[in-house]
Structure 1
Amino acid sequence: MENKPIARALRLLSQLMELHEVNPFKIKSIANAAFKVDKLPFPLAGKTVSELEKIDGIGKSLAAKIAELLATGTMTELQEMLAQTPDGVIEMMGIKGIGPKKVAIIWKELGIENVGELYYACNENRLIEAKGFGLKTQEEIIKVLEFRMAGNGKFLYAQVVKEVKALMEEIRGIFPDALKHIAGEFRRRSPIISEVVIVVGSLNQEIAYQALAELDTLKNVTLSGTHISAELNNGLLVDIICVDKANYYYELFINTGDTEHVDAVLARINTPLELPETEELIYQKAGLAWMPAELREGKSFIEKAAADNLPTLISYHDLKGTLHNHSTWSDGVNTLEEIALYCRDELKLEYLGISDHSKSAFYAKGLSIERVLQQHEEIDHLNKKLEGFHIFKGIESDILNDGSLDYPDEILKRFDFIVASIHANLKMQADKATARLIKAIENRYTTILGHPTGRLLLSRKGYDIDHKKVIDACAANNVVIEINSNPLRLDLDWRWHQYALDKGVMLSINPDAHRNAGFHDMYYGINVARKGGLTKDMCLNALSITEVTEVFKKKREGR
């Protein structure tokens, strides 16, 4: 074994000791030894324990550890420390800008156990008030984590939307008279993007290649036949397809839908397709109504298109209010009044459902019963003060390990609505997770099931559940299911929306906003709601204030 891996092992041991608050003198001794071992001009391998002891900065105790490492490839003390530490916490220690002391706060005080949860917490502004952190540190951590997430070649839609639209503007300048459109995953509004595909109705590939190669927004630009390949500066792959104008709409069609969808449509065409002048003509030849790009994944909506029974997809402007939001009462950045005024005056909404964290969420300043009552007094005051707007009293109640909610019934009944969510003990088997959710759903006060699987896209898989059993329970108990619009969540997954809608379960496009800017995440919720075929009449927060008030009233009365 060379000196560098020995130094790394000692450094990791010192960091874990600091994380677990071992004797600081011992930590300093091992950290110093790691530094010195890394700089030694001779190898340690092959030396006896007595020889190791004589090396400056090592000594008797460390010599034994190094000898054990050289003999076995590890150290007993290191293995014991690793066994006490979640893998995700160890991974966090490798993040630039946060050392063991900060990781200890993140883990032990904020309850965060992996990189995905840390990224989500940063986006919730949860690190700002933690000891030793601040806005600048939080922003630096976000940058590092986003760079790490990009390393796998996949990006959240929300991460790249600005860059993709900026690239499209530049392409419009290069091809002012050509047909051009974004296709692929981005046009389908997929939550995760691995490549941006753009179809251009022009055969001037060489001219386009020269112009694109000079753009500051692209790198590694290459030309191969009709394809110009490149990368955005963040590493996202780009494929620009230059085709004859006569083939444009066919190429746009086959490069928009996924393979299963395109094959299913083309299989229905029995006559020569020739050169379609629009995408609509392709679907018409297949005996189908034209399908919005969001629905072009798989065959789920093919039969509805054949029966001319496609849903009229919800749009952002259909939303009348916003539910599941956090204020300074828990871990939000803005006050209740600031949020209400922003929603009324900037977003032109009719109502706000405030649902701060419940008492078990200590890491997010969850509300004690006394603070719940105090918040309700403020809401009553604001509802008298604000004209043309209403604040509903809600809470995001933690679903406890046994499936019960986080307050007694006499407190739960005081709320207008309750979002029931799991935030702790996420490492559950599917049967346990399902049973836990169903018990919460069966609670007479549960109005909305929040982010059902707890997933964080590109970061955390989330717990497995039996989706059908959970959705069936929501149908039986008149519980709405959330589409959490945070770009990291987008949970309930769009693939289950139709099953829920077919069962008569309403969905709610909730931003889970922790600051005013977070309300715009509802755009991403709309994206996946459209992919799932949601219509405005089945979206809770597309109801008018009168209609949603009646929904809440019926739920509280058990109707």
Structure 2
Amino acid sequence: MENKPIARRLRLLSQLMELHEVNPFKIKSIANAAFKVDKLPFSVAGKTLAELEKVEGIGKSTAAKIHELVETGTMTDLEDLLAATPEGVVEMMGIKGIGPKKVAIIWKELGIENTGELYYACNENRLIEAKGFGLKTQEEIRKAIEFRMASNGKFLYAQVTQEANDLLDEIKTIFVDALVEFAGEYRRLCEIISELVIILGSRDQHLAFDTFSKSSILQNITVNANHINGELANGLLVDIICVEKRYFYEELFMQTGSDEHTKAVLARINDELDQPANEELIYVKAGLEFIKPELREGDTFIAKAENNNLPQLISYNDLKGTLHNHSTWSDGVNTIEEMALYCRDTLKLEYLGMCDHSKSAFYAKGLSIERVLQQQEEIDHLNKKLDGFKIFKGIESDILNDGSLDYPEEILKKFDFIVASVHSNLKMDEEKATARIIKAVENPYTTILGHPTGRLLLSRKGYPINYKKVIDACAANNVVIEINANPFRLDLDWRWHQYALEKGVWLSVNPDAHRNEGFLDMHFGILVARKGGLSKDRCLNALSLPAMTQVFEKKRG
């Protein structure tokens, strides 16, 4: 074993010791030894234990640890500390800008156990609440995590929208007479993007190759047949497919849908596509109603298209209000009044549903019973002076380990609506996690099931649940399922929207906003709702204010 990996293991040991608050003298001794081993002009692996003990800066105790590592490939002390530390916490210590002391605060005081949760906390402005953290530190950590995520080659849809649209606009500016459009994952509105595909229909393909090779639009450019490959500054891979104009729509169709979808459509066409003038003609030839790009996953919508029964997909303008939002009463940035005025005057919405955290969410200043009553007094006061707008009294009630909600019945019945969500003990097995959620769904006060799996895209898988059982329970108990519009969540997963709709379950596009800008996440929620085939007549917050009021009153009754 070389000196550098030995030094790295010693350094990790010292960091874990600091994390678990071991004797500071011992921590310093191991840290100094790690530095010393890394700089030695000879290999420590070839030394006997007695020889190691004589090396300046190592000492008897550390020499024994090094000898154990060389002989066995590990150190007992290190393995013991690793066993006592969640894997995600160990990973966090590798992030630039935070050492063991800060990681200890993040883990033990904020309850954050992995990089994904930490990134989410940064975006929710939650990190600055912890001792020793400020806005600048939070921003540096967020950027460091983004850099690491980029190196994995996968991006959230929301992370690349600006760069993707800027690239498309730049290409259109250069090739004025060309046909240019997105294809692939981005055009299908996939929640995770691994490559940006663009179809370029141009009369002069050689000009296109020459232009891209000489410009700074893309980095690391290579040309393979009619594909120009490169990457953006953020590391996102780009594939520009150049074809003659007459083949543009055929190529656009071929490169947009998933393989399964494209094959299913082509199997219905007996002759060649024959240079179609638009994509609609391809579906006409296949005897199908035109299927929008976001629905071109597998063959889910083929039968509906054959019977002219495709859903009229919801749009952002169909939304009349916003539910599940957090104010300064818990972990939000804006006051209730600021959020209400923003929704009414800027977003032109009819209502706002406040859902601050419940009392068990101590990390997010969850509301005690006394504070619930105080907040409701404030909402009553605001509703009297807000003209043509209503604030609904809600709460995001934690689903406790046994499936019960976070307040006694006499408090639960004081809310207009309740979003029930899991925030703790995310490591239950599927059977227990499913039973826990179903019990919460069966509570007569539960109106909406919030972010059903607790997932954080590219970061945390979420707790395992039996989707069918949970959705069936929501159908049986008249509980709405949330499509959490936060681009890190987008939960309920679009792959289960159709099953929920077929069972008669309504969905709600909720931003989970913690500041005014967070309301804009509803745009991403709408995109994933469209991908799942949601229409406005089955979306809760597409209801008008009178209709929404009636729904809440009926549920409470």
Q: Which moved more, 1:259-268 or 1:145-154?
A: 145-154
Amino acid at match of 1:266: L
Distance in 2 between residues matched to 1:311 and 1:471, nearest whole Å: 20
Residue 155 (structure 1) aligns with = 155
Residue 466 (structure 2) aligns with = 466
Q: Which moved more, 1:378-387 or 1:524-533?
A: 378-387
Residue 402 (structure 1) aligns with = 402
Give yes or no for contact 1:19–1:100 (8 Å, CA) kept in 2: yes
Residue 56 (structure 1) aligns with = 56
Residue 145 (structure 1) aligns with = 145
Amino acid at match of 1:193: I
Residue 35 (structure 1) aligns with = 35
- Residue 518 (str. 1) matches residue 529 (str. 2): no
SS of 2:33's partner is: helix
Quote the sequence identity (%).
76
Residue-by-residue CA offset, 1:246-285 (whole Å, 9 max, x unaligned): 1111111111111111111111112443221111111111
SS of 2:395's partner is: strand
Residue-by-residue CA offset, 1:451-478 (whole Å, 9 max, x unaligned): 1011111111112211111111001100
SS of 2:445's partner is: coil
Mapping 1:156-305, distance limit 5 Å:
156-305=156-305
- Distance verdict in 2 for CA 1:217–1:104, change over 3 Å: farther
Distance in 2 between residues matched to 1:213 and 1:368, nearest whole Å: 62
SS of 1:330's partner is: coil
Residue 376 (structure 2) aligns with = 376
SS of 2:238's partner is: strand
Residue 538 (structure 2) aligns with = 538
Distance in 1 between residues matched to 2:7 and 2:295, nearest whole Å: 54
Q: Which moved more, 1:218-227 or 1:499-508?
A: 218-227
Q: Tell me the TM-score normalised to structure 1 length.
A: 0.98
- Distance verdict in 2 for CA 1:217–1:339, change over 3 Å: farther
- Residue 490 (str. 1) matches residue 490 (str. 2): yes
Q: CA deviation at 1:484?
A: 0.4
Residue 341 (structure 2) aligns with = 341
Mapping 1:406-485, distance limit 5 Å:
406-485=406-485
- Distance verdict in 2 for CA 1:51–1:516, change over 3 Å: same
Distance in 2 between residues matched to 1:515 and 1:11, nearest whole Å: 40
Distance in 2 between residues matched to 1:109 and 1:531, nearest whole Å: 38
- Residue 390 (str. 1) matches residue 390 (str. 2): yes
Q: CA deviation at 1:374?
A: 1.0
Unaligned runs of 5+ in 2: none
Residue 307 (structure 1) aligns with = 307
Distance in 2 between residues matched to 1:503 and 1:47, nearest whole Å: 70
Residue 364 (structure 1) aligns with = 364
Distance in 2 between residues matched to 1:201 and 1:211, nearest whole Å: 14
SS of 2:44's partner is: coil
Amino acid at match of 2:344: R
Give yes or no for contact 1:203–1:242 (8 Å, CA) kept in 2: no
Residue 102 (structure 1) aligns with = 102
CA RMSD of aligned residues (A): 1.1
Q: CA deviation at 1:296?
A: 0.8
Residue-by-residue CA offset, 1:36-71 (whole Å, 9 max, x unaligned): 121122222232333222222222222222222222
Q: CA deviation at 1:189?
A: 0.6
- Distance verdict in 2 for CA 1:99–1:197, change over 3 Å: same
Distance in 2 between residues matched to 1:260 and 1:203, nearest whole Å: 31
Give yes or no for contact 2:178–2:203 (8 Å, CA) kept in 1: no
Give yes or no for contact 1:396–1:420 (8 Å, CA) kept in 2: yes
Give yes or no for contact 2:405–2:420 (8 Å, CA) kept in 1: yes
SS of 1:387's partner is: coil
Distance in 2 between residues matched to 1:466 and 1:49, nearest whole Å: 55
Residue 80 (structure 2) aligns with = 80
Residue 67 (structure 2) aligns with = 67
SS of 2:472's partner is: helix
Distance in 2 between residues matched to 1:382 and 1:31, nearest whole Å: 57
Give yes or no for contact 1:209–1:221 (8 Å, CA) kept in 2: no
Give yes or no for contact 1:217–1:233 (8 Å, CA) kept in 2: no
Give yes or no for contact 1:174–1:208 (8 Å, CA) kept in 2: no
Distance in 2 between residues matched to 1:96 and 1:280, nearest whole Å: 50
Distance in 2 between residues matched to 1:327 and 1:531, nearest whole Å: 30
Give yes or no for contact 1:327–1:335 (8 Å, CA) kept in 2: yes
Distance in 2 between residues matched to 1:214 and 1:511, nearest whole Å: 43
Amino acid at match of 1:11: R
SS of 2:128's partner is: coil
Distance in 1 between residues matched to 2:315 and 2:502, nearest whole Å: 20
Amino acid at match of 1:326: H
Distance in 1 between residues matched to 2:298 and 2:305, nearest whole Å: 13
Amino acid at match of 1:273: L
Distance in 1 between residues matched to 2:282 and 2:6, nearest whole Å: 64
Amino acid at match of 2:140: E
- Residue 133 (str. 1) matches residue 142 (str. 2): no
Q: Which moved more, 1:316-325 or 1:146-155?
A: 146-155
Q: Which moved more, 1:363-372 or 1:57-66?
A: 57-66
- Distance verdict in 2 for CA 1:46–1:272, change over 3 Å: closer
Amino acid at match of 2:117: E
Q: CA deviation at 1:234?
A: 1.3
Unaligned runs of 5+ in 1: none
Q: CA deviation at 1:237?
A: 1.3
Distance in 1 between residues matched to 2:41 and 2:194, nearest whole Å: 46
Residue 26 (structure 1) aligns with = 26
Residue 124 (structure 1) aligns with = 124
Distance in 2 between residues matched to 1:456 and 1:338, nearest whole Å: 28
Residue-by-residue CA offset, 1:80-135 (whole Å, 9 max, x unaligned): 11111011100001111000000001100000111111111111111011111111
SS of 2:221's partner is: strand
Distance in 2 between residues matched to 1:56 and 1:247, nearest whole Å: 73
Distance in 2 between residues matched to 1:180 and 1:66, nearest whole Å: 61
Distance in 1 between residues matched to 2:553 and 2:225, nearest whole Å: 63
Give yes or no for contact 1:289–1:305 (8 Å, CA) kept in 2: yes
Distance in 2 between residues matched to 1:124 and 1:188, nearest whole Å: 28
Distance in 2 between residues matched to 1:37 and 1:374, nearest whole Å: 60
Amino acid at match of 2:233: N
Give yes or no for contact 2:205–2:244 (8 Å, CA) kept in 1: no
Q: Which moved more, 1:156-165 or 1:191-200?
A: 191-200
SS of 1:128's partner is: helix
Q: CA deviation at 1:363?
A: 0.8
- Distance verdict in 2 for CA 1:214–1:411, change over 3 Å: farther
Amino acid at match of 1:410: E
Give yes or no for contact 1:97–1:141 (8 Å, CA) kept in 2: yes
Residue-by-residue CA offset, 1:149-201 (whole Å, 9 max, x unaligned): 12222111000000000000111012101111111111111101111111121
Q: CA deviation at 1:516?
A: 1.1
Q: Which moved more, 1:51-60 or 1:237-246?
A: 51-60
Amino acid at match of 2:71: A
Q: How many residues align?
A: 557
Q: CA deviation at 1:421?
A: 0.5
Distance in 2 between residues matched to 1:41 and 1:226, nearest whole Å: 53
Amino acid at match of 2:19: L
SS of 1:327's partner is: coil
Give yes or no for contact 2:398–2:422 (8 Å, CA) kept in 1: yes
Q: Which moved more, 1:380-389 or 1:321-330?
A: 380-389
